[in-house]
Amino acid sequence: MMACRGTDLFSEIDMLRAELLHNVEVTADCQRVEEEISQQDVLTRIENIILGIVTSLSKDEAPVLALPNRSSWANVSFDSAIGLQMSSGSSVTTIRSDCALSVAKFAQILKILLVIYRLIQSNSYATKRDIYYNNTQLFGSQKTVDGIVDDISCMLKVPRRSLHVDGTRIDCNSSSAVSSINSRNKLAPLTAVAVSSNIDGIRNIVSCAKFVLIVEKDATFQRLLDDDFCTKLSPCIIITGKGVPDVNSRLMVRKLWDTLHIPIFALVDADPHGIEIMCIYKYGSVAMSFEAHSLTVPSVMWLGLLPSDLQRLRVPEDALIPLTRTDENKLTSLLKRPYLTSQPDWQKEMELMQQTKVKAEIQSLAAIGPDYLTNIYLPNKLRYGGWV
């Protein structure tokens, strides 16, 4: 899966890794909790939900399901070692079987619980798309299935991968030696491997990589491959979630950190949207806060594109984009996030963006030179420690 080529060119990265290893938090307790959730445990939790429904019916009462509210900031707390995590006393949303507004979702949840129960019993796997096509009329859309699977994972208090949904196996031995990973099942010809939908099943990761580079956009990811970036700066691992990352992309980044303990850098646009995507990898999201311990990597560093880079490199003004009102509101919201108080350097960069009122895409560096990103910007950033 991952190449072992190149020479040690980046002493700053080695120093960063030593610092990260010195400060790494002990996660053994969290890992033990996950290991203790057996298949039988999951089956029992599903059975208890069904038992509750049967009990309500026996009392001539309308069954009700209680789902933790995954969309409220009031339900999460911030831990610097984990990121955003769901509070134990979080509020819930009730799904009633006797309410016209929620009866469809009630039926959808029960149907997916049945599918999951059978998958675990038979020790088999299915994708969310398989579940959707199991009853398209009931679910209506793939998005409905995706959301309910996450709701069930949160309701049962088990990692989503324990539900046997999205379980597939891939063989990376036949892939290119270039150590690049592209998620959401799209392979770059001969140069990239799709992120597996069964991250927990990946074993024996061995790599000489010095660092992992998270790339926000697929276009930038492909450009790095086209410019043979991995060969020039190998050994390294590049991964993209194509914008806002899906759960498998985040699980893969966390897996690489837990296995290799090498620096992880983020390359995103110098705009509020790119910063938020980077924060999702680093600190997590409100919606998936119940599974924060397996999804977040608080050691992620912001490599670029920094707002201060735009001034330092004198990026041409016609390559800069004025902030919209939406951008300004997003930036203000980000600066209020609980985790920003522990990142003064990030705050400074974001405040600079507020002051200059401009943003820029990674592609703006092409205005300086067509190969500036891969031949000058990234090599210098990595060589001289240009991250925050």
What's the CA gap between 82 and 283, in Å, rounded? 7
Catalytic residue among 117, 125, 132, 133: 133
What's the CA gap between 181 and 187, in Å, rounded? 9
- Cβ neighbors of 154 (< 8 A, separation 6 or more) are 67, 68, 70, 86, 290, 291
Q: Taking each helix axis from N to C terminus, what angle separates 103-121 and 142-156, rounded to the nearest 10 degrees?
A: 70
Are 251 and 161 in contact by the 8 Å Cβ rule? The answer is yes
Residue 132 annotated in active site: no
The token pair at 47 is 């059975």
Tell me which residues are annotated as active site.
133
